[in-house]
């Protein structure tokens, strides 16, 4: 199955909530763990055991593992393997963006099944020109993987680039969404090339999110995004949105039942039930 088909099926089966597995030093301390590789491993694998069998998507942020060097990367490999074995899709948050053979190497590192870091999808940056992502697109297609391209992020610095106008008068973000629309043309039930769009952005961007692809909406929950925001921003495309939160879940730990309960309540709220 293509990533788009797997994503569509996972959201229907397990709900639209995505759990970020981000081992901040402060969270390790809140859990009573040391800020070292042993603490990292205990934290990350406890989260995987608690939530990966119950949520549709997990999103480890690579930076929090990389800061421990090769031993941290080894923990990330375990997180990816165990999460996928538990039935969750793994969206590895790397936000890579480069050109030529370097972009090719990044794509193979994270999307080729022969790599120990192979994930279902990765986040990428298009700001060296969308064509710089061609190696990622090719490798994703070859291995039925997916991409989530930064489009309209909710950080305060984002509009400087994303709201800028190109030669046709459309915004940079609109151009990115147009590229995704072409990549996903005629895909059923959903294309594999998605966008990252903040769950707290303004409604007046004028962006058209009907590009037949998945959407990752970080900023849900503790950062202020709500189910109403998801419906407000994405309209008819809200069915293709995976709303992401890390702190809201992780601060419920290390109690596994409490973390699972946050996932359940978030899925109920996003599906329109009672939180």
State the pLDDT at residue 274.
36
User: For the whole model, what pTM was predicted?
Assistant: 0.96
Peptide bond into 39 cis (omega under 30): no
State the pLDDT at residue 222.
82
The Cα–Cα gap between 265 and 131 comes to: 40
SS (HEC) of the chain = CCHHHHHHHHHHHHCCEEEEECCCHHHHHHCCCCCCHHHHHHHHHHHHHHHCCCCCEEEEECHHHHCCCHHHHHHHHHHHHHHHHCCCEEEEEEEECCCHHHHHHHHHHHHCCCCCCCCCEEEECCCCCHHHHHHHHHHHHHCCCEEEEEEECCCCCCHHHHCCECCCCCEHHHHHHHHHHHHCCCCCCCCCEEEEECCCCCHHHCCCCCCCCCEEEECEHHHCECHHHHHHHHHHHHHHEEEEECHHHHCCCCCHHHHHHHHHHHHHHHHCCCC
The values of phi and psi at residue 242, to 5°, are -105, 110
Name the active-site residue from 78, 95, 264, 265: 95
CB 196 within 8 A of CB 121: no
Stretch 27-55: mean pLDDT: 98
State the pLDDT at residue 270.
96
The values of phi and psi at residue 59, to 5°, are -135, 85
224-245: per-residue pLDDT in tens?
899 999 999 999 999 999 999 9
Is 59 among the catalytic positions?
no
Pairing outcome for strands 193-197 and 241-245: unpaired
Which two tokens mark 62? Answer: 């690579």
- Confidence at 204, pLDDT banded by 50, 70, 90: confident
User: Pick the residue with more confidence: 203 or 84?
Assistant: 84
- Confidence at 275, pLDDT banded by 50, 70, 90: very low
């Amino acid at each position: 199955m293509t990533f788009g088909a797997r994503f569509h099926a996972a959201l229907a089966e397990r709900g639209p909530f995505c759990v970020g597995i981000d081992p901040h030093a402060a969270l390790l301390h809140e859990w009573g763990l040391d800020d070292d590789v042993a603490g990292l491993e205990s934290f990350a694998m406890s989260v995987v055991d608690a939530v990966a069998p119950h949520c549709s998507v997990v999103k480890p942020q690579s930076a929090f593992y990389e800061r421990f060097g090769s031993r941290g990367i080894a923990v990330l490999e375990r997180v990816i393997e165990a999460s996928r074995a538990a039935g969750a899709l793994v969206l590895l948050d790397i936000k890579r963006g480069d050109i030529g053979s370097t972009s090719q190497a990044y794509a193979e590192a994270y999307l080729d099944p022969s790599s120990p870091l192979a994930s279902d999808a990765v986040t990428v940056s298009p700001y060296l020109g969308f064509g710089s992502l061609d190696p990622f697109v090719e490798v994703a297609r070859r291995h039925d993987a997916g991409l989530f391209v930064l489009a309209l992020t909710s950080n305060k610095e984002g509009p400087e680039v994303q709201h800028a106008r190109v030669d046709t008068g459309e915004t940079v973000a609109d151009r990115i969404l147009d590229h995704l629309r072409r990549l996903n043309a005629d895909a059923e039930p959903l294309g594999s090339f998605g966008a990252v769009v903040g769950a707290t952005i303004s409604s007046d961007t004028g962006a058209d999110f009907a590009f037949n692809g998945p959407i990752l909406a970080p900023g849900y929950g503790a950062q202020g995004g709500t189910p109403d925001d998801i419906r407000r921003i994405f309209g008819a495309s809200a069915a293709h949105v995976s709303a992401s939160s890390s702190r809201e879940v992780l601060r419920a730990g290390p109690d596994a039942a409490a973390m699972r309960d946050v996932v359940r309540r978030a899925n109920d709220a996003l599906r329109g039930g009672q939180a």
